[in-house]
Amino acid sequence: MSSSEPTFTKSPSGPLYKKLVQTLKGEILSGVFPIGTQLPTEIELSERFDVSRHTVRAALRQLRDDGLVSSRQGAGTTVQRAGSTQTYVHEINSIGDLINYVAGMRFQIDSVGMIECDSDQADRLSCPEGQRWLHVVGYRYVEDSPSPTCWTEVFIHADYSGVARLLERSKGPIYELVEDFYGERVEEVEQIVQSRQAPDEIASTLKVEPQETVMEVLRKYRLASGKLAIIAFNLYKPDMFRLSFILRRNRAQ
């Protein structure tokens, strides 16, 4: 750091984390940490300012609330434009990336139960009418955010419904439960991103207007046998979602 960096003093007045917020905010706005760069880790900030990691976390939480940074587990804390809405960057280029994606989120399950598809549900899932699925519904949250990042609806084929007893205790992706519990292997995940209207019953929790346009990420998980084992629908507010992927030229081209 340069000799002109903002000073940090532990005076007895006011919460310590707020003094850290002011110092880091000053460094961000003055260009010490430009937009798009990462802040030091919690440990590095704790050592630099001689404060606890609890204090550092509180300061980073305030900076996120102020729209100056965004955080993602495993990817650190990134400086963003002041006042911009925090988006959840959706970077999934392989099945393995789904593990990191889910690891950074908390799935709060609202309901779990078996269903038999009526004609509408069968059309939606592209399955025979009357087919049975384990139906799991809830919201996903980033870190300790009080507001959900997305609404999630998961359909697990009845043949693998035994994972229901593990859902509340597991922090990993549901497809891993199927693999571990049944000895199967997910070979392919088809992902479709499209717009749709938000159902009335989730609008207030997702903080959108009823029937407002939202982004839907649909994933279909197929086993090595070709059998469709899991279908998941995830609804995001448009300003909370950005899709990122990389295209590479085939070596044969």
**DSSP secondary structure of the chain:** --TTSPP----SSS-HHHHHHHHHHHHHHTTSS-TTPBPPPHHHHHHHHT--HHHHHHHHHHHHHTTSEEEETTTEEEE--TTPPP-EEEE--STTHHHHHHHTEEEEEEEEEEEE--HHHHHHHTS-TT-EEEEEEEEEEETT-SS-SEEEEEEEEGGGGGGGGGTTT--S-HHHHHHHHH---EEEEEEEEEEEEPPHHHHHHHTS-TT-EEEEEEEEEEETTS-EEEEEEEEE-GGGEEEE------TT-
pLDDT at 9: 64
Per CATH, 16-79 and 88-244 having the same topology is answered no
**Residue 176, number of CB atoms within 10 A of its CB:** 15
pTM of the complete model: 0.62
Q: Return the axis-axis angle of helices 53-65 and 42-49, rounded to nearest 10°.
A: 110
Neighbour-count burial of 81, counting CB atoms closer than 10 A to its CB (0-12 exposed, 13-18 middle, 19+ buried): exposed
pLDDT lower than 50: segments of the chain: 1-6, 83-89
pLDDT at 70: 84
For residue range 31-47, list pLDDT tens digits in order: 888 888 899 999 999 99
Q: What does the domain layout of the chain look like in residue ranges?
A: 16-79, 88-244
CATH number of 88-244: 3.40.1410.10
Q: 16-79: which CATH number, 1.10.10.10, 1.10.3720.10, 3.40.718.10, 3.40.50.261?
A: 1.10.10.10
pLDDT at 4: 42
